[in-house]
Amino acid sequence: MILVSLYGGLGNQMFQYACGKAVAARLSVELKLDIQHVTDRTPRKEFTFRDYELGVFNVVEQIATSKELNDFVPNLWNANEIVKHYYKLKRILLGNTLYREKLKFSYNKEIDSLKDNTYLYGYFQTEDYFSNFRNDILNSFSLRNTIDDKNAALVVQMQTESSVSIHIRRGDYENSVFELLSLEEYYLKAIETIKKDIESPVFYFFTNDIEWVEKNFNSLNINKKIITINTGKQSYMDLILMSNCKHNIIANSSFSWWGAWLNQNTNKIVIAPKKWFKTGQYVETTYDLIPKSWLKI
């Protein structure tokens, strides 16, 4: 059995699940999901609580029980060092392993030698962890239910056009470690790159800052549409719509990363930002984050 901890938003949970599924598939064992960190509501300063979000997909939804988790780890976010040391000794006695991702946003080769009965904890944000199982991951992240009429109509339209998704994330990024992507140095250059290679592109904008998009893109001579129909618990549908565009311009966001990765157009152009973070320890460690076939600006 492989267990994987899920935490963060939808994109993060998708990376964690995909990595866990690939490890479990390689070992021909079952995968169990630890959802305690997305159900935990322990008060924390400057923390965004999340929910389990993979239920919209056809994932193999085996949730680890408290008894199963108790053989591997405590709640890693709340346990003190004495409790963590106790569980370390317990794992040794039971022959179990806790694998913590060492270098974030890069491929950790140690994962190739992991054995059965391992608990995975990390972000695992590179396709190198699961690209060999692409078809399995695509099936896992197909939708469980039929989509509504408005989104279904958009999917049909996107498939008949030279559709290009553009994801613009601002708001919560303005005071964070994430780079706030430049209009001139990123988005306009990405649009010009698409226009050189794609005939009659139609740009579909996905954003949490509609006012900024309208202010900065309305004057451009491009065929554009701003998608506003998916909010709240329906927000995952924006990711699905991005994946149905022919080409993608992503933000420095795991959400639009997955929109582009799930895009099955064999001739797709995906443009991604070179710089993911503006400050912090991860600025120089994202060299495996962007697939080699994607264009970085």
Residue 129 token pair? 């962890």
| Cα 106 to chain centroid, rounded | 14
The pLDDT of residue 286: 76
At 103-150, the pLDDT tens digits run: 888 899 999 999 999 999 999 999 999 999 999 999 999 999 999 999
| Cα 210 to chain centroid, rounded | 22
The pLDDT of residue 182: 87
At 225-284, the pLDDT tens digits run: 999 999 999 999 999 999 999 999 999 999 999 999 999 999 999 999 988 877 666 666
The pLDDT of residue 48: 76
Query: Read out DSSP for 226-273?
Result: E--S--GGGTHHHHHHHHHSSEEE--SSHHHHHHHHT---TT--EEE-
Dihedral of CA 173/39/5/43: which sign?
positive
The burial of 129, by beta-carbon neighbours within 10 Å (0-12 exposed, 13-18 middle, 19 or more buried), is given as buried
Report the distance separating Cα 244 and Cα 161, nearest Å. Answer: 11
Q: Which helix (H) or strand (E) holds 2?
A: strand 2-5
Please state the pTM of the whole predicted model: 0.94
Report the distance separating Cα 70 and Cα 248, nearest Å. Answer: 42
The pLDDT of residue 38: 93
Residue 277: φ, ψ to 5°: -115, 150
CB 9 within 8 A of CB 40: no
CB 145 within 8 A of CB 240: no
Report the distance separating Cα 162 and Cα 252, nearest Å. Answer: 23
171: confidence class by pLDDT, cuts 50, 70, 90: low
Q: Specify the residue for token string 């995968």.
A: 31
Report the distance separating Cα 278 and Cα 7, nearest Å. Answer: 23
Q: Which of 139, 114, 125 is nearest to 57 (CA)?
A: 139
